[in-house]
Amino acid sequence: MNTQFFEGQKPGTSGLRKKVSVFQQPHYLENFIQSIFDSLEDCQNKTLVVGGDGRYYNKTAIQTIVKMATANGFGRMLIGQNGILSTPAVSAIIRKYHAFGGIILSASHNPGGPDGDFGIKYNISNGGPAPEKLTEAIYEHSLKISNYRISETMDIDLSELGQMQVGEMTVEIIDSVADYAELMAQIFDFDKIKDLFQSGFTLCFDAMHAVTGPYARLILEDQLGAPSGTVINAIPLEDFGGGHPDPNLVYATDLVKKVYGENALQFGAASDGDGDRNMILGQDFFVTPSDSLAVLAANAHLIPAYKEGLAGIARSMPTSAAADRVAAALGIDCFETPTGWKFFGNLLDAGKVTLCGEESFGTSSNHVREKDGVWAVLFWLNILAVRQESVESIVRAHWAKYGRHFYSRHDYENININTAEKLMDNLSKTFNVMKKGQSFGSYLVDYCDNFSYTDPIDASTSAKQGMRIVFQEGSRIVFRLSGTGTNGATLRVYLEFFETNIAKHSLDVQEVLADLIVLADVIAGIKKFTGRDKPSLIT
Ligand code: VG1
Ligand code: CO
């Protein structure tokens, strides 16, 4: 068999992501699925959960996976109705039914449709993303695979709930939302949130034509009594309505219109393609994801499931240190991990942390092993229901108490891969000669390095996880290349400026960060290497 396209089957930050047309090449999907199965311990008679975000190719891929799972000896498959399961729902279902693992079909926030992206993630029995050791094994296997096992059974009906046999394997089509909704009701005070909605609180949830529509509709509108129409863009579409299902101020335009300006609603939220990200907005007010993690941590005692307190907090390295300050105040540990949810799994399993978060609009807790968009929205609503204050006043009070980490991420998308590598090489040379105390205007270098992580539980190490330069007094610039893009390379520049006296600064974050933005270019030569004089996306 021709092996020329196997070399591209290297999973990135979050599974394998490629253009749909790449997955449509003969044997491509099958090779990757077989590489997963072959890299696992024995799959005989085990249970496999499968679902996706509803994007183009989701159902086609599921039919292939069913035929391969039965040929590989799986005993049982649980599939979301119509192929729909959000990423956190897959995690919850794996855990609830003690499944062996799960396959999530999604390219997350990347656009979908025949010309868009498709992706595959494998999750292990704790419900979390496959750790690096396994993704490496899958990749290595995909380089040498020469055949795959598939049965010649008929396509199955994904639309009707119920059970059927495919060869020796039992397939159950399950409700996409029920198990997840049941878990949310165990965590949060649904009665309090109901009262909040009853009192006339105004809100909007933008599902961005992606997977969270059915989840948010059932939980917010049917169970908690939010007015019908609260959830917009609620039907998952194969091409996400032509949009970019990434919950930020640039892409969630329908939501932004409702929460800013005249007649602004009190609360707005959005989630991404596969339902693991969240954006939180108050009236005319944006909550940065890093601040959101810190606010959730500081208020966790108000939520039934966390009222006994938090074991610890973890955040990805580029995420601001706002959560660290809350952890210090609570007297609990705060762990700093590489980018990607898979690095939180061991800490959660070992009971070292309760809450985790990333600057890329991801937060979650030990209830699953993925980040969880709808959970984060319910967490905020539960806090609002208890505190009876606005989002803005809660965040401002938080800054007044802990100080504020002004934060922004600048993305330079679709740059030439060689150019990006040259820029990073050059940056590491610059870092090699950088000295502690060296000054850049008023910024004095504390240290700089290429972040390397040793897992505190299994001692596995992950090197080269991002170039960071940390200045005295806590300001920081981090540079790293994305592991999820499918067009060329994406350079991410993370900017952070810490201030205790928050009254001192203009509220325009980009203005506050202006010096650091210039410094990032001085240090990394972004303009010189890429020819770009501004980022393509600012969040
Ligand atoms: C990005 C984010 C990272 C996140 C990952 C998957 O990765 O930066 O924080 O975990 O996407 O999120 P990268 O390598 O492109 O920076 V999701 O919602 O796309 O599964
Ligand atoms: Co996602």
**pLDDT given for residue 506 in this prediction:** 67
331 plus 425 within the same structural domain: no
Let me know whether 172 and 305 are in one domain: no
Of 176, 208, 228, the one marking the end of a domain is 176
Closest residue (by CA) to atom 6 of ligand 1? 14
Nearest to 55 by CA among 5, 8, 114: 114
Beta strands in 366-441 (DSSP E): 404-415, 439-440
| 3-state secondary structure (DSSP) of residue 136 | helix
Nearest ligand for residue 359 CA? 1
13 C-beta closer than 6 A to ligand 1: yes
Based on the fold, state whether residues 126 and 52 are members of the same structural domain: yes
Please indicate, yes or no, whether residues 345 and 206 belong to a single structural domain of this protein. Answer: yes
Distance 195 CA to ligand 1 centre (A): 35
Question: What's the rounded Cα separation, in Å, for the pair 336 and 330?
Answer: 17
Q: Which distant-in-sequence residues (6+ apart) come within 8 Å of 253 by Cβ? A: none
CATH, residue 513: 3.30.310.50
Are 387 and 446 contained in the same domain?
A: no
d(CA 319, CA 407): 9
Residue 9 in any domain: the answer is: no
| Domain-located, residue 186 | yes
State the number of CA atoms in the 13 A half-sphere of 34 facing the CB. 20
- For 240, residues 6+ apart whose C-beta sits below 8 A from its C-beta are 55, 111, 112, 113, 208, 209, 210, 273
Q: Which atom of ligand 1 is nearest to the CA of 483?
A: 14
The answer to the question of residue 524 being in a domain is: yes
Q: Among residues 175, 182, 255, which one has the least CA distance to residue 223?
A: 182
- Whether residue 11 lies inside any domain: the answer is no
- What is the model's pLDDT at position 227? 97
Residue 233 in tokens: 């863009």
Q: Which of 525, 515, 519, 527 is nearest to 424 (CA)?
A: 525
Cβ–Cβ < 8 Å for 223, 185: yes
341 lines ligand 1 (CB under 6 A): yes
Is 132 found in the same domain as 83? yes
Rounded Cα distance, 462 and 429, in Å: 20
Contact assessment for residue 229 and residue 265, using Cβ atoms and an 8 Å cutoff:
no
In our burial notation (b when 16+ CB lie closer than 10 A, e otherwise), range 179-216 reads bbbebbeebbbbebbeebbeeebbbbbbbbbbbbbbbb
* Same domain for 313 and 205: yes
Q: Are residues 248 and 172 in the same domain?
A: no
Amino acid at 198: Q
Strand 76-84 and strand 47-52: the pairing is parallel
Q: What is the DSSP letter of 129?
A: B
Domain end (from 355, 375, 402): 402
Q: Same domain for 335 and 477?
A: no
CA proximity to 325, closest of 360, 350, 279, 290: 290
Q: Which of 343, 367, 402 corresponds to the end of one domain? A: 402
For residue range 367-421, list pLDDT tens digits in order.
Answer: 999 999 999 999 999 999 999 999 999 999 999 999 999 999 999 999 999 999 9
Q: What is the pTM of this model?
A: 0.95
Quick one: 264 and 354 in the same domain?
yes
Contact 493, 416 (CB under 8 A): no
| Atom of ligand 1 minimally distant from the CA of 316 | 9
Say how many Å lie between the CA of residue 237 and the centre of ligand 2: 16
Separation in Å, CA 126 to CA 47, 299, 344, 445: 13, 27, 12, 41
Give pLDDT tens digits along the chain (539 positions). Answer: 444 444 556 777 778 999 999 999 999 999 999 999 999 989 999 999 999 999 999 999 999 999 999 999 999 999 999 999 999 999 999 999 999 999 999 999 999 999 999 999 999 999 999 998 999 999 999 998 999 999 999 999 999 999 999 999 999 999 999 999 999 999 999 999 999 999 999 999 999 999 999 999 999 999 999 999 999 999 999 999 999 999 999 999 999 999 999 899 999 999 999 999 999 999 999 999 999 999 999 999 999 999 999 999 999 999 999 999 999 999 999 999 999 999 999 999 999 999 999 999 999 999 999 999 999 999 999 999 999 999 999 999 999 999 999 999 999 999 999 999 999 999 999 999 999 999 998 999 999 999 999 999 999 999 999 999 999 988 999 999 998 878 899 999 999 999 888 776 667 899 999 999 999 999 999 999 999 999 999 99
Distance 276 CA to ligand 2 centre (A): 5
- Whether residue 491 is contained in a domain is answered as yes
Q: Is there a single domain that holds both residue 394 and residue 252? A: yes
Q: What is the CATH number of the domain that holds 255?
A: 3.40.120.10
Q: For residue 3, tell me if it sits in a domain.
A: no
Same domain for 28 and 117, yes or no, is yes
- Atom from ligand 1 closest to the CA of residue 339: 9
Burial of 133 (0-12, 13-18, 19+ CB in 10 A): exposed
Closest CA to 103 of 111, 95, 94: 94
Q: Is residue 2 part of a domain?
A: no
Question: What is the domain count for the chain?
Answer: 3
Question: Domain residues for 66?
Answer: 16-176
d(CA 2, CA 314): 43
Q: Is 109 in the pocket of ligand 1 (CB under 6 A)?
A: yes
